[in-house]
């Protein structure tokens, strides 16, 4: 038995499914997950000492690669000063100032410990601010695992085929309205039907939890217009896109303003952090200024703050990184398109900046229904072929690939060469 196998066997005795987050279990792609021993730059090493080129980057935050030296050093220095105080630090204000300087439409920002908390809190703020209860989310979008969002979710829910989550009460789910991603007409109909009842529209401006799916022209702009007309708070879930697509995230690349924005792990360079922020008049609803209660001992944790501050400062002072990342990702996308075309394997590769995914289908993939219709069996085969070749892709067709800037063109060429050897 390999070290990976024996670690998984042992883990399953103590942890549900052997994992602390469902997608990691490789259930959809079958086989055993690999257990990571260490990571550096663009590479992961598993328990059997096999090295992989990593295309997950901890689901986004490792924009400059794993164990990035300035981040590691900053963490080491902070740890010696204590790991959690449950009291304010100057670092939290420095972080807020830095984020505000990088991102538009953030007047006030509150740190949380995860993207789930950030989205859950942003929704609560929208409800508290507007005095309305319902909200619209999109099929296949995923905003963390707070009850209200677990309706037609992407990510692990889509991967495991769980569309109705046990434990979410009907009463909670009743306030969650859903529409197809990229279908503005459905949103207009909901806005009309529930006029005066909708507090928020929450959207992944670039969807990354049903594979990578881009908004069609006019979709996000249309959401902005509906929100303005109907006094609805527009929330951009930028847990994946924030600081990854550009300094100012998807707000910047799409040229659309959100009212509230949520962030996740990238704010902590991969440490457990999230944040929600936005326009002053809305954020002033948050306690202790307003009556929307939200709290956390580990919110603004100094170790996470210094890690994130170090990463974001580097991105802020060197925006060339975004061009380099986009160039690498476009190169990979174009080469893979050629590889699959030569093999007569129909693919739709969606890409923007450093996010992309390979959907095995002849058509366009613009929403969850399109993603579900793709050839999942072929994805499984490709995933395992690549894994054997030392390329670590997301173990689900419903997850985006995230490129990091430690990846070299040699790494990309190895990835392309491995794909050339794939037989359907
Ligand atoms: N839900 C995460 C990706 N969309 C996966 C989390 C994890 O397994 O780490």
pLDDT tens profile 142-189: 999 999 999 889 888 888 888 789 999 999 999 999 999 999 999 999
Q: What is the pLDDT of residue 69?
A: 98
**Residue owning the nearest CA to atom 5 of ligand 1:** 23
Q: What is the pLDDT of residue 349?
A: 98
Q: Do 118 and 177 share a domain, yes or no?
A: yes
Q: Ligand 1, residue 22: give the atom nearest the CA.
A: 8
How many whole angstroms from 80 Cα to the centroid of ligand 1? 30
Per-chain mean pLDDT for the chain:
97
How many whole angstroms from 59 Cα to the centroid of ligand 1? 6
Q: Do 351 and 308 share a domain, yes or no?
A: no
CATH number (domain holding residue 294)? 3.40.640.10
**Residue owning the nearest CA to atom 9 of ligand 1:** 21
Q: Do 184 and 195 share a domain, yes or no?
A: yes
Phi and psi torsions of 292, nearest 5°: -85, 105
Q: Do 62 and 79 share a domain, yes or no?
A: no
State the pLDDT confidence band at 28, using cuts at 50, 70 and 90: confident
Q: What is the pLDDT of residue 158?
A: 85
Is pLDDT above 80 for 93?
A: yes
Q: Do 165 and 137 share a domain, yes or no?
A: yes
Q: Ligand 1, residue 399: give the atom nearest the CA.
A: 4
Instruction: State the average pLDDT over residues 248-277.
Output: 97
Q: Is the CB of 59 under 6 A from ligand 1?
A: yes
Tell which of 282, 317, 352 closes a domain: 317
Q: Do 11 and 114 share a domain, yes or no?
A: no
- Please identify every residue annotated as catalytic: 142, 237, 265
Instruction: State the average pLDDT over residues 196-205.
Output: 98
CATH number (domain holding residue 43)? 3.90.1150.10
Between the CA of residue 177 and those of 18, 148, 239, 361, what are the distances in Å?
33, 10, 21, 29
Q: Is the CB of 58 under 6 A from ligand 1?
A: no
Q: Do 44 and 10 share a domain, yes or no?
A: yes
Q: Ligand 1, residue 156: give the atom nearest the CA.
A: 1
Instruction: State the average pLDDT over residues 104-123.
Output: 98
Instruction: State the average pLDDT over residues 223-231.
Output: 98
Q: Ligand 1, residue 24: give the atom nearest the CA.
A: 8
In 10 A of CB 169, how many CB atoms?
A: 8
Q: Do 343 and 382 share a domain, yes or no?
A: yes
Choose one of 21, 158, 241 to mutate for the ligand 1 pocket test, by most ligand atoms within 8 angstroms of C-beta. 21
Is pLDDT above 80 for 357?
A: yes
Q: Is the CB of 209 under 6 A from ligand 1?
A: yes
Instruction: State the average pLDDT over residues 307-311.
Output: 98
Q: What is the pLDDT of residue 288?
A: 98
Domain count, the chain: 2
Q: Do 258 and 400 share a domain, yes or no?
A: no
Q: Is the CB of 156 under 6 A from ligand 1?
A: yes
CA 262 to chain centroid: 11
Q: Do 157 and 204 share a domain, yes or no?
A: yes
Instruction: State the average pLDDT over residues 73-98.
Output: 98
Instruction: State the average pLDDT over residues 57-71.
Output: 98
Q: Is the CB of 301 under 6 A from ligand 1?
A: no
Q: Do 306 and 410 share a domain, yes or no?
A: no
What is the pTM (predicted TM-score) of this model? 0.97
**Residue owning the nearest CA to atom 6 of ligand 1:** 21
Bridge partners for 41 per DSSP: 66
Q: Ligand 1, residue 208: give the atom nearest the CA.
A: 4
How many whole angstroms from 21 Cα to the centroid of ligand 1? 6
Q: Is the CB of 149 under 6 A from ligand 1?
A: no
Q: What is the pLDDT of residue 245?
A: 97
Packing angle of the helix pair 302-317, 90-102 (nearest 10 deg) = 30
Calpha distance 203→142 (Å, rounded):
9
Calpha distance 153→130 (Å, rounded):
25
**Residue owning the nearest CA to atom 1 of ligand 1:** 155
Q: Do 341 and 303 share a domain, yes or no?
A: no
Calpha distance 201→184 (Å, rounded):
12
Calpha distance 72→343 (Å, rounded):
43
Q: What is the pLDDT of residue 244?
A: 97
Tell which of 317, 334, 359 closes a domain: 317
User: Which residue in 181, 192, 121, 188 sits closest to 152, CA to CA?
Assistant: 181
Domain of 153, in residue numbers: 69-317
Which sign does the torsion angle of CA 332, 338, 344, 349 carry?
Answer: positive
Q: What is the pLDDT of residue 157?
A: 86
């Amino acid at each position: 038995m390999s070290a990976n196998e024996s670690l998984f066997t042992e883990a399953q005795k103590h942890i549900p499914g052997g994992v602390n987050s469902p997608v990691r279990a490789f259930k959809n792609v079958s086989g055993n997950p690999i257990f990571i021993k260490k990571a550096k730059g663009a590479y992961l090493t598993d328990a059997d000492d096999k090295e992989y080129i990593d295309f997950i980057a901890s689901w986004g935050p490792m924009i400059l690669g794993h164990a990035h030296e300035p981040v590691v050093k900053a963490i080491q220095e902070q740890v010696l000063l204590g790991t959690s105080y449950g009291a304010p630090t100057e670092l939290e204000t420095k972080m807020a100032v830095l984020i505000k300087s990088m991102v538009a439409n953030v007047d006030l920002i509150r740190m949380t410990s995860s993207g789930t908390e950030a989205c859950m809190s942003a929704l609560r703020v929208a409800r508290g601010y507007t005095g309305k209860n319902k909200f619209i989310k999109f099929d296949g979008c995923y905003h963390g695992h707070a009850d209200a969002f677990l309706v037609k979710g992407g990510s692990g829910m889509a991967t495991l085929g769980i569309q109705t989550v046990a434990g979410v009460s009907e009463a909670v789910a009743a306030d969650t309205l859903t529409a197809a991603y990229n279908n503005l007409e459905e949103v207009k109909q909901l806005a009309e039907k529930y006029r005066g009842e909708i507090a928020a529209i929450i959207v992944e401006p670039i969807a990354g939890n049903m594979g990578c799916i881009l908004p069609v022209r006019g979709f996000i702009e249309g959401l902005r217009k509906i929100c303005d007309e109907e006094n609805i708070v527009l929330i951009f879930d930028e847990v994946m896109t924030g600081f990854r697509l550009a300094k100012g995230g998807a707000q910047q690349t799409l040229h659309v303003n959100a009212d509230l924005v949520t962030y996740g792990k990238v704010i902590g360079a991969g440490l457990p952090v999230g944040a929600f922020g936005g326009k002053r008049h809305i954020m002033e609803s948050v306690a202790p200024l307003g009556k929307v209660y939200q709290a956390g001992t580990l919110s603004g944790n100094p170790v996470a703050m210094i890690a994130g501050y170090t990463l974001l400062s580097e991105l802020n002072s060197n925006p060339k990184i975004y061009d380099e990342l986009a160039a690498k990702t476009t190169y990979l996308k174009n080469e893979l398109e050629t590889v699959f075309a030569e093999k007569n394997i129909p693919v739709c590769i969606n890409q923007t900046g450093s996010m992309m995914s390979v959907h095995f289908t002849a058509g366009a993939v613009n929403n969850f229904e399109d993603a579900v219709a793709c050839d999942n069996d072929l994805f499984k085969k490709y995933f395992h072929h690549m894994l054997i070749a030392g390329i670590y892709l997301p173990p689900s067709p419903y997850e985006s690939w995230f490129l990091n800037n430690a990846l070299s063109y040699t790494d990309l060429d190895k990835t392309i060469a491995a794909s050339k050897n794939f037989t359907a």
